Amino acid sequence: MNIATKIALILIVVAIISSLVAYSYFSLSAKPTPYTTIRILTVEKTITQTQFVTLTFTTTQIVTIVPSPSTVVTSTTTSPIQTAFTQRQEAQYIEVVDVLNRSVKIPKNLSRIVAIGPGALRLVAYLNATNLLVGVEQSELQWGCIGRDYAMAYCSTIQRLPVIGPGGPRNPPNPEMLMQVKPQLIVMYRGYVNLYPPDRLEAEVGVPVLVIDYGTAGYVDIGFLEKALRLLGKALNRDERAQQLISYIDSVVQDLSNRVKSVREKPTIYIGAISYTGAQPFTASQSMFAPLVLLNTSSIVDNLKPGGGYIQVDFEYLLKKQPDYIFIDENNLNMVLDDFSKNRDQYCSLNAFKEGRIFGVLPFNYYHTNIATAFADAYFIGKVLYPEAFADVDPIQKADEIFKAFVGKPLYQDFVKNGYQGFVNLSNLFKCG
């Protein structure tokens, strides 16, 4: 190519650039204004780079400076590559709204999660998502596995995971320990919010925090429970499992309701030695006891605390009310036996003790409500109180059906092998006369 040809090509390029600049100049303002400088700024950014390819996008800015140095007009255009990359990033996440009405952006393909606070790990287990766990609280290891349905079913998994913090209802999370296991999501019990704000934890650990809640500990709130399962199911990509479990829960609740709806006369009931922040004596009870609520049956303490809650009663109150049936939380059975040995006459003044109507129930309030255990207790209590309505029910078989539906394994014999009496009449332990 000779010199004349090169010069001609250069002049053509200059003319094209001048035309583009002039077009941009006039398109920026409807009114001609004496601008002093027009520059085209091109910024190239690398958005991803591998051994084989570097992907970049280009942003072009046309900046026009007017005589007043405070006035700058900028027009920005984004390349199709940048737009496609942004859309691809958004497609890799889902957005959910947690119980605090926080919008939480979660990676779609989760493979590393942790669950902190009472009940959080239980719901993860109910959704068959323990394979995603990368750490557990120290309390889970200290307490062992017996008594908490999810821990009994997944004991070996839980016991081999690294510790991510102290755990327990009153200890705040530990962000440093959480960061060490590199989770993609932290599932957090609502009760921790006052101990450690979730936005603060999210900022410090650098991963999303999803706050969940399934009602008051020690109770079964079906609405809260099912809402929590749907929320967590969506977050963990377990929507189908969540719906399956919700359908089963609805069937259990409906079955219990149907069995007792035609019962006209209901016996008087007392539930004693209910655990509450530790071991409790026989006179410790609970208003609106969850299995009784499922059976539409009252306890003699319900009128003392109509809104529900734990309550201590005087023994004189029990003597006055003379409940037809007494059930004892087997977590505290040894404490009741010890007190019985010291005050036999007092206990034997209760007709239920004297006539052998004393039964055990499996404890279901352990690091929040063990839903499966509460349902199993409801069928056993129903069998005792309303034998005709529950004539076709074997409480032990039903318990294992429920445990398998929630955590995939039958657990009744595991309770018995580890010191619980199970679903039995306890009158052989309390001899009167």
CATH number, position 398: 3.40.50.1980
| pLDDT confidence bin for 70, thresholds 50/70/90 | very low
In the sheet with 54-65, reading across from the earlier edge strand, the strands are 37-49, 54-65, 72-78
**Mean pLDDT calculated for residue range 3-27:** 52
313 and 404 share one domain: yes
Residue 250 has pLDDT above 80, yes or no: yes
- Tell me, yes or no, whether 70 and 106 share the same domain: no
135 and 28 share one domain:
no
429 within domain boundaries = no
Backbone angles phi, psi at 18, to 5 degrees: -60, -40
Kindly report the number of other CB atoms within 10 A of residue 186's CB atom.
23
217 and 299 in a common domain: no
Q: What is the mean pLDDT of the chain?
A: 86
For residue 125, pLDDT over 70 is answered with yes
Query: Would you say residue 413 has pLDDT above 60?
Result: yes
Domain count along the chain: 3
Same domain, 357 and 229: no
Q: What average pLDDT does range 70-98 have in this prediction?
A: 61
Residues 272 and 212 in one domain: no
CB 386 within 8 A of CB 259: yes
Shared domain for 221 and 310, answered yes or no, is no
**Residue 172 in domain:** yes
184 and 296 both lie in a single domain:
no
Q: What's the pLDDT at 8?
A: 54
| Beta strands in 14-116, from DSSP E residues, in sequence order | 37-49, 54-65, 72-78, 93-97, 103-107, 113-116
More confident residue, 427 or 57: 427
**Domain shared by 162 and 271, yes or no:** no
Q: Is this model's pTM higher than 0.85 or not?
A: no
- pLDDT tens, position by position, 380-412: 999 999 999 999 999 999 999 999 999 999 999
Domain range for 58 is: 19-76
pLDDT of 311-340, one tens digit each? 999 999 999 999 999 999 999 999 999 999
Q: Based on the domain organization, do 305 and 354 belong to the same domain?
A: yes
Statement to judge: residues 265 and 412 lie in one domain: yes
Model confidence at 71: pLDDT above 90: no
For residues 29 and 118, state if they share a domain: no
The answer on pLDDT for 47 being more than 70 is no
**Is residue 175 in a domain?**
yes
| CA dihedral for 84, 89, 92, 97, sign (positive or negative) | negative
